[in-house]
Structure 1
Amino acid sequence: MPKRVDHDQRRRQIGDALLRIASSRGLQSASMREVAAEAGVSLRLVQYYFHTKEELLLAALGYLGEQLAARVEERIRALGPVTPRSVVHGTLTAVLPTDDESRRLTRAYTGYYTLVLSEPDLADRHGATYPDKIERLLGGQLRQAQENGEVDPGLDPELIAAGLLALTNGLGSSVLGGQRDGQAALEILTYHLDRVFTPPRRAG
């Protein structure tokens, strides 16, 4: 009896191969043939599941988003009771490249960002919505923290969320570039989170 093929598993096998290329060598020169070699399958099989390179790029980006979401969820759970601060802290520290897995995720996302710089029409057609989702999540948690009295009500939650995510991405680049290590980046991020999550002192 012929072995039944799990098509979703095979698609992920190929997508994961592309993500390994993204995190190690970048995506500008990644061909379907190179992805096939990395996945250990034939070029024909890659073309069977993904008719174009763009289709493969978008599918792999979706897989990457799922991996990051799982890491965020795991990090938040590890912090104990779920609070606005634990969600914000867990989300941002999951993105920060402080270990092998987060460095792999960060390098893979960097591969996509670099590709968009050279092929801006790719962003126009499909967009990169994951950062927007993270900003909305952070903004909602910061607004809840304001209602709980944990964050100054005079702050703009959406602007703070965008700034914290930009800070985290910048720190990630500095870690990958060798300017500082992951622990130093984490200390900087924690410093700024402590400043945000410090409620205003009451007069008297």
Structure 2
Amino acid sequence: MPRRTDHEQRRREIASAVWRIAADLGLEAVSMREVAAEAGVSLRLVQYYFETKHNLLVLALRYLHERGERRAQARIAAQLDQSVRGVVRTLLTELLPLDAERELSLRVHRAYFSRTHSDPQLAQAFVHDETPIEDLVTSLLRRAVLPPGTQPRLEANLLVAGLTGLGLDVLHGRFTPDEVLVTLDYHLDRLFQA
């Protein structure tokens, strides 16, 4: 009996080839031919599943976001018996390159972000009005007892942007992961002093 192909799984495998190329060489190095070679499939198969390079880049990004969300949700679910501070810390550390998977994700996001300045179509897919991480951190902060006058949304914006930037600094060797975690804990201690 012939083997049935799992088309969704095949698309995800091809998307992971995009990530590896983008992480190492940038999005400029991503072509359908290079992705096919990296994935170990034919160029025709990549074209069949994605049709255009733009579709390939956008779907690979969507899969990367889905994978990151699943990973974050699993880590948060394991922390639900923790304090709000513990859950916020767990969520924010997802933005840091603390293991190979998170490092790959951050390197791929850096490649996409860089490309959005010269590719308006890609910018529409990458830079949007939604702020799911900031929204989640804001909702968590609203559940906590914080110092008077604290504005949860502004704190969430600062925390997410700050950890994203510090994560890039870790990639570049400017800071170590431990140094960034000390910085994160310092800020969280100030927020959750009550």
TM-score range, shorter chain: over 0.9
Specify which of 150, 153, 156 is matched with residue 155 of structure 1. 150
Q: Give structure 1 regions of 4+ aligned residues with deviation exceeding 4 angstroms.
A: none
SS of the residue 1:28 aligns to: helix
1:100-115 maps to which residues of 2 (within 5 A)? Answer: 100-115=100-115
The aligned amino acid for 1:17 is A
The aligned amino acid for 2:152 is P
Between the two proteins, what is the percent identity of the paired residues?
Answer: 47
CA contact 2:21–2:29 (8 Å) conserved in 1: no
TM-score normalised to the size of structure 2?
Answer: 0.92
1:83 and 1:62, CA in 2 relative to 1: closer, same or farther beyond 3 A?
farther
For 2:25 and 2:143, the matched residues in 1 are separated by 41
For 2:113 and 2:166, the matched residues in 1 are separated by 16
CA displacement at 1:187 relative to structure 2: 1.1
Partner of residue 11, structure 2: 11
For 1:183 and 1:130, the matched residues in 2 are separated by 32
Partner of residue 138, structure 2: 139
CA displacement at 1:78 relative to structure 2: 4.2
Partner of residue 96, structure 2: 96
CA contact 1:99–1:182 (8 Å) conserved in 2: no
The aligned amino acid for 1:64 is L
For 1:96 and 1:190, the matched residues in 2 are separated by 14
For 2:148 and 2:47, the matched residues in 1 are separated by 54
Provide structure 1 residue ranges, at least 5 long, that are not aligned to the other structure.
200-204
Provide structure 2 residue ranges, at least 5 long, that are not aligned to the other structure.
none
The aligned amino acid for 2:150 is L
CA displacement at 1:82 relative to structure 2: 4.6
Partner of residue 192, structure 1: 187
1:131 and 1:182, CA in 2 relative to 1: closer, same or farther beyond 3 A?
farther
Deviations 1:137-184 (A, max 9, x none): 111111121xxxx21241111111000011101111110111111111
Partner of residue 173, structure 2: 178
- Count residues in correspondence: 194
SS of the residue 2:94 aligns to: helix
1:71-86 maps to which residues of 2 (within 5 A)? Answer: 71-79=71-79, 81-86=81-86
CA displacement at 1:127 relative to structure 2: 4.3
For 1:163 and 1:131, the matched residues in 2 are separated by 16
TM-score normalised to the size of structure 1?
Answer: 0.88
